[in-house]
Amino acid sequence: MNEERYILFGQYIENELSAEEKTIFEKQLAEDKEFASTFEIFKELHLHLEHKFGNEQELKAFKKNLKSVSKEHFKAKKSKVIALKSWQYAAAASVAVLLGLFFFQNINPSFDDYNSPEMATFIERGDVNENLKLAQDAFNTKNYKAAIPQFETVLKEKKSPEIQFFYAVSLLENNQFQKAETNLSELKSGTSVYKHKATWYLALLKLKQKEYKSCKEILLTIPDDFEDYDQVQQLLNELD
């Protein structure tokens, strides 16, 4: 990222560009997706600063401070198009730093980065239950909404940790968080082979709801012999 781009953004927002420069700028906005995306982020930060400095006196004080900073940390530069005021350059550099912090320090891990449900294979083991087959097929094609009622029918007839686990994952995928948590918690407190998988998905449930503290607390209860412990460790590192 370079400061001159942010200066150009600021000049466009403040209507300081000439008609020709404005035409060139808007053409680049229309043709360059990365440029347009960065501009949208800049606009949000610009609005934030406008709200932060609600009166002219505060804004003048801010500009004065930036001018002082620019003398200490930045060489005097000129844009290829428009001469820069020292506070403008410092402001642009500050925005660059803010954007860097925004991208690299304040982005939390995403549920989608860690969500990779395994395939259900009930029928391959000889089970001919029609509802279970429908549940399996729906689950494996990511049609979780359709899988849920099929799993519920099966669980009324035959409750097993395996079926309950895939049912809980379907609920989570369909954002039915309360039901998913109830089923995953039950599996977590049990002794089946799905105990730690259920704990992992409980953590993902919290991650999907952006409850990062709870997510981390659950992750810390998963033992290091869990088959996907490398994922657990990676997510813990991202949450730190």
pLDDT at 67: 45
- CA distance linking residue 234 with residue 168, whole number of Å: 23
Rg (CA), the chain: 27
Q: Examine the pLDDT at 72 and tell me if it is beyond 50.
A: no
What is the rounded distance in angstroms from the CA atom of residue 182 to the CA atom of residue 165? Answer: 11
Tens of pLDDT, residues 172-193: 999 999 999 999 999 999 999 9
- Indicate if the pLDDT at residue 225 is higher than 90: yes
Pick the CATH number of 111-239 from 3.40.630.10, 1.10.600.10, 3.40.50.11540, 1.25.40.10: 1.25.40.10
Q: How far is CA 104 from the centre of its chain?
A: 12
Distance CA 125, CA 111 (A): 31
The structural domains of the chain, with segments of one domain joined by +, span 3-104, 111-239
Q: Which of 75-79, 153-157, 209-213, 220-224 has the lowest mean pLDDT?
A: 75-79
Q: ∠ at Cα 111 (108, 117), nearest 5°?
A: 155
Name residues whose C-beta falls within 8 Å of residue 212's C-beta, 6 or more positions apart in sequence. 108, 206, 239
Task: Output the pLDDT for position 136.
Answer: 94
For residue 223, CA distances in Å to 46, 196, 218, 240 come to 46, 8, 11, 19
139 contact partners, CB below 8 Å, separation of at least 6: 117, 120, 147, 166, 169, 170
Q: Which residues contact 73 (CB under 8 A, 6 or more apart)?
A: 90, 93
What tens digit of pLDDT does each residue of 99-132 get? Answer: 554 444 445 788 988 999 999 988 765 556 889 9
Q: Which pLDDT tens digit goes with each residue over 80-106?
A: 444 444 445 455 555 555 555 444 444
- Of 213, 215, 142, give the one whose Cα is nearest residue 177: 215
Helices within the chain (DSSP H only): 3-13, 19-31, 33-52, 56-73, 86-104, 111-114, 130-140, 144-157, 161-173, 177-188, 195-208, 212-219, 229-239
Q: What tens digit of pLDDT does each residue of 131-170 get?
A: 999 999 999 999 999 999 999 999 999 889 999 999 999 9
Whether the CB-CB separation of 149 and 128 falls below 8 Å is answered with no
Mean pLDDT (the chain) is 80
